[in-house]
Amino acid sequence: MPVPTNSDLAAAPAIEPLKVACASCNLRELCLPVGLNAGEIDRLDGLVSNRRSVTRGEHLFRNGERFEALYAVRTGFFKTCVGSEDGRDQVTGFQMAGELLGLDGISSDRHHCDAVALEDSSVCVIAYSQLEDLSREFTSLQHSFHKIMSREIVRDHGVMLLLGNMRAEERLAAFLLNLTQRLQARGFSPSALVLRMTREEIGSYLGLKLETVSRTFSKFQDDGLLEVKQRQLRILNQAGLQALVNNSRC
Amino acid sequence: MPVPTNSDLAAAPAIEPLKVACASCNLRELCLPVGLNAGEIDRLDGLVSNRRSVTRGEHLFRNGERFEALYAVRTGFFKTCVGSEDGRDQVTGFQMAGELLGLDGISSDRHHCDAVALEDSSVCVIAYSQLEDLSREFTSLQHSFHKIMSREIVRDHGVMLLLGNMRAEERLAAFLLNLTQRLQARGFSPSALVLRMTREEIGSYLGLKLETVSRTFSKFQDDGLLEVKQRQLRILNQAGLQALVNNSRC
DNA sequence: CGTGGTTTTGAAATGATTCAAGCGGAGTGG
DNA sequence: CCACTCCGCTTGAATCATTTCAAAACCACG
């Protein structure tokens, strides 16, 4: 099976230049429109009309900027990071197609993190005030939006568990399983993947130094769990990774 | 100045047995009703009529239980924790008066963590479906609720930064400053406090072992930052703690 | 006044980091 | 097309922070 790239998820621009309505979007089951009927999706489309391209390395938004919209990843891959007064920063997540960016901004009308594209990407711009208006009209949209926010909270708690309790190998194994699971939900191979982020970014997310990430990749390869060629990965023993995550030390 | 206990926040039950309406609650500026006008608060009261007492050590809800309501802490103190398949668990937060519990449950109609009272406590029960209904009616309630969820996400990202980047002393200093700041917002002394949780629970929250927490308390005391008598703390040098958090190593 | 849970403290062990060097691949310009 | 360079990655060895194990002290409680 050839390894698909994330951009395969997008319709080829030349062929289908502007057909980017929620109703025809193959992400609608993963994105905000889940559970909406056709008429509701049409209305949602009304406020998601605006799209934006973000090239690799570019910021979608920055900490401190005024918050006005949420962004749904259409194609590509992002990271979000928060920084402290002194120079430290922490990657708080990696977002792929169908996932929402900017939820942190609602709290104070300012973004509280940076969102950076890790590859050329495109997003749907969802004007937040209009989303609030529409979700007062449609129970299903309101509910779906609340679920998405709540899911982010649950995800964050999982990361806390990872950062607070797991050792390097367990963290990396959990990270890889999470990544492949999300890719699989988007129709990609569960075993072959291309990392869009550096070892340092993985390390920042997992609370490890890049050298530790690299060493752990090598160890997984030695143990026959993984085949690592730079950013090309192949999972050889998914159950083995899962066992690492489950058993603290056995 | 005498050290107030958290329960001073509640009206003495004998004197004011059932006057527990949002409109007359001294937590309304910290809780869900922020920004609501009198009429709206009255309506909110309609769905917050139900109260519940939770004694020390008792669970308010457990991971896996059906989610039906949010809980606003009226008096007392809670912890929330998530656990992995194997026995590890991670304290994800400590909640005091005015803070909301249960937001994680919205994502899948099941609670994803345990909430345990760390002292005898009482909560307002907020039927979630009714809250959704009412927040379709009142923009201000809708907005306030969204802000609360978003604030939780921002808080979680801050904890990730702490767990991913800081060393033991920085973590504990950040934790103490956060705690005193929240207590101060509730009218308590910014310098004297009584911990409601064990060293182990602090450690779980901060990704440290209880011995490390204890040692770090001792070190802070030796350094003149803190006076530690078991769970009684007095902050002697707040700026010193703040400096610890800001400067990674200088 | 004992009892159990919590906390403190010490000493040894461990896992991750730091520092340092070398490798490799992608992209650039001659 | 090749050599060069840069950036990301790998690997080793020494160091360091935190954990682990163990013992004792302390406090609240019945």
Q: Which CATH number covers residue B221?
A: 1.10.10.10
What's the Å distance between residue A114 CA and nucleotide C26 C1'?
Answer: 27
Does B159 fall in a domain? no
Tell me the per-residue pLDDT of A101-137, one tens digit each, with 9 for 90 and over: 999 999 999 999 999 999 999 999 999 999 999 999 9
Using the predicted structure, report yes or no on whether residue A10 has a pLDDT greater than 80.
Answer: no
Does A156 fall in a domain? no
pLDDT at position A162 is 98
pLDDT at position A19 is 53
Q: Mark whether B230 and B172 lie in a shared domain.
A: yes
Its domain, for residue B180, covers 166-246
Q: Which helix (H) or strand (E) holds B43?
A: helix B38-47
Residue A72 has which token pair? 């749904």
What one-character-per-residue DSSP string does B120-146 give? Answer: SEEEEEEEHHHHHHHHHH-HHHHHHHH
Q: Mark whether A128 and A180 lie in a shared domain.
A: no
- Taking CA atoms, A221 is separated from A162, A189, A191, B44, in Å, by 22, 19, 14, 57
Per DSSP (E only), the strands in chain B are 51-54, 59-61, 69-75, 77-83, 89-96, 100-101, 114-117, 121-127, 192-194, 226-229, 232-235
Q: Which tops the pLDDT comparison, A49 or A51?
A: A51
* Confidence grade of residue A84 (pLDDT, cut at 50, 70, 90): confident
Does A87 fall in a domain? yes
Does A199 fall in a domain? yes
What's the whole-number average pLDDT of chain A?
91
CB pairs under 8 A between A and B: 160
pLDDT at position B50 is 87
Q: Mark whether B133 and B26 lie in a shared domain.
A: yes
Q: Which tops the pLDDT comparison, B3 or B130?
A: B130
- Inter-chain CB proximity B160 and A112 less than 8 Å: no
Q: Which of B93, B119, B151 is the last residue of a domain?
A: B151
The DSSP output letter for A245 is: H
Using the predicted structure, report yes or no on whether residue A86 has a pLDDT greater than 90.
Answer: no
The answer to whether A111 and A105 have CB atoms below 8 angstroms apart is: yes
pLDDT at position B241 is 97
Percent of chain A residues past pLDDT 70, beyond the cut? 91
Question: How far away is chain B from the Cα of A154, in angstroms, using its nearest Cα?
Answer: 6
What's the whole-number average pLDDT of chain B?
91
Does A114 fall in a domain? yes
Residues of B in contact with A109 (CB under 8 A): none
The answer to whether A154 and B197 have CB atoms below 8 angstroms apart is: no
What's the Å distance between residue B237 CA and nucleotide C20 C1'?
Answer: 40
Nearest CA to the C1' of D28 belongs to which residue? B230
pLDDT at position A15 is 38
Question: How far away is chain A from the Cα of B234, in angstroms, using its nearest Cα?
Answer: 26
| Least confident window among A85-89, B11-15, B65-69, B127-131 | B11-15
Residues of A in contact with B108 (CB under 8 A): 147, 151, 154
pLDDT at position B11 is 39
Q: Which of A118, A138, A158 is the last residue of a domain?
A: A138
> What whole-number distance in Å separates Cα of residue B33 and Cα of residue B148?
11
CA nearest to A102 within chain B: B150
Tell me the per-residue pLDDT of B200-242, one tens digit each, with 9 for 90 and over: 999 999 999 999 999 999 999 999 999 999 999 999 999 999 9
CA angle B157, B163, B165 (to 5 degrees): 95
Does B1 fall in a domain? no
Q: Mark whether A129 and A10 lie in a shared domain.
A: yes
pLDDT at position B19 is 53
Residue B176 has which token pair? 């103490």
- Taking CA atoms, A163 is separated from A143, A193, B85, in Å, by 30, 24, 16
The answer to whether B180 and B224 have CB atoms below 8 angstroms apart is: no
pLDDT at position A248 is 54
Task: Determine phi and psi for B187, rounding to 5 degrees.
Answer: 90, 10
Tell me the average pLDDT across B102-108: 98
Q: Mark whether B133 and B212 lie in a shared domain.
A: no
| Least confident window among A54-63, B45-54, B131-140 | B45-54
> What whole-number distance in Å separates Cα of residue A174 and Cα of residue A188?
18
The answer to whether B111 and B67 have CB atoms below 8 angstroms apart is: yes
SS (H, E, C) B175-201: HHHHHHHHHHHCCCCCCEEECCCCHHH
pLDDT at position B21 is 87
Q: Which amino acid is at B227?
A: E
pLDDT at position B248 is 53
- Inter-chain CB proximity B89 and A136 less than 8 Å: no
Using the predicted structure, report yes or no on whether residue A2 has a pLDDT greater than 80.
Answer: no
Does B160 fall in a domain? no
What's the Å distance between residue A216 CA and nucleotide C19 C1'?
Answer: 19
pLDDT at position A21 is 87
Q: Which of B151, B184, B210 is the last residue of a domain?
A: B151
Tell me how many domains chain B contains: 2
Q: Mark whether B130 and B42 lie in a shared domain.
A: yes
Q: Mark whether A91 and A190 lie in a shared domain.
A: no
Helix A139-165 / helix B128-137 crossing angle, nearest 10 deg: 130
The answer to whether B192 and B227 have CB atoms below 8 angstroms apart is: no
Tell me the average pLDDT across A191-195: 95
> Strand D closer than 7 Å to the CB of A215?
yes
Q: Mark whether A130 and A185 lie in a shared domain.
A: no
Q: Mark whether B87 and B191 lie in a shared domain.
A: no
> Strand D closer than 7 Å to the CB of A163?
no
What's the distance, Cα to Cα, between the start and end of chain A in Å?
34
Q: Mark whether A134 and A178 lie in a shared domain.
A: no
Q: What is the distance, to the nearest Å, from the Cα of residue B157 to the centroid of all Cα atoms in its chain?
A: 16
What's the Å distance between residue A82 CA and nucleotide C21 C1'?
Answer: 32
Q: Mark whether A64 and A187 lie in a shared domain.
A: no
Does A209 fall in a domain? yes
Using the predicted structure, report yes or no on whether residue B16 has a pLDDT greater than 50.
Answer: no
pLDDT at position A5 is 46
> Strand C closer than 7 Å to the CB of B200?
yes
Residues comprising chain B, all counted: 250
- Taking CA atoms, B212 is separated from A141, B199, B208, in Å, by 46, 9, 6
Residues of B in contact with A177 (CB under 8 A): none
Tell me the per-residue pLDDT of A207-231, one tens digit each, with 9 for 90 and over: 999 999 999 999 999 999 999 998 9
Residues of A in contact with B106 (CB under 8 A): 146-147, 149-150
- Inter-chain CB proximity B207 and A165 less than 8 Å: yes
What's the Å distance between residue A133 CA and nucleotide C17 C1'?
Answer: 50
Q: Mark whether A134 and A170 lie in a shared domain.
A: no
What's the Å distance between residue B201 CA and nucleotide C2 C1'?
Answer: 28
> What whole-number distance in Å separates Cα of residue B218 and Cα of residue B236?
14
Count each helix (H run) and each strand (E run) in chain A, helices first: 7, 11
pLDDT at position A17 is 42
pLDDT at position B249 is 52
CATH number for the domain harbouring residue B88? 2.60.120.10
Residues of B in contact with A143 (CB under 8 A): 132
Q: Which tops the pLDDT comparison, A248 or A4?
A: A248
Which of A112, A147, A157 lies at the smallest CB-CB distance from B113?
A157
Tell me the per-residue pLDDT of B129-174, one tens digit each, with 9 for 90 and over: 999 999 999 999 999 999 999 999 999 999 999 999 999 999 999 9
Strand C, nucleotides covered by protein (CB < 7 Å): 6-11, 15-20, 25
Tell me the per-residue pLDDT of A133-169, one tens digit each, with 9 for 90 and over: 999 999 999 999 999 999 999 999 999 999 999 999 9
> Strand C closer than 7 Å to the CB of A212?
yes
Residues of B in contact with A206 (CB under 8 A): 164
| Least confident window among A21-25, B6-10, B194-198 | B6-10
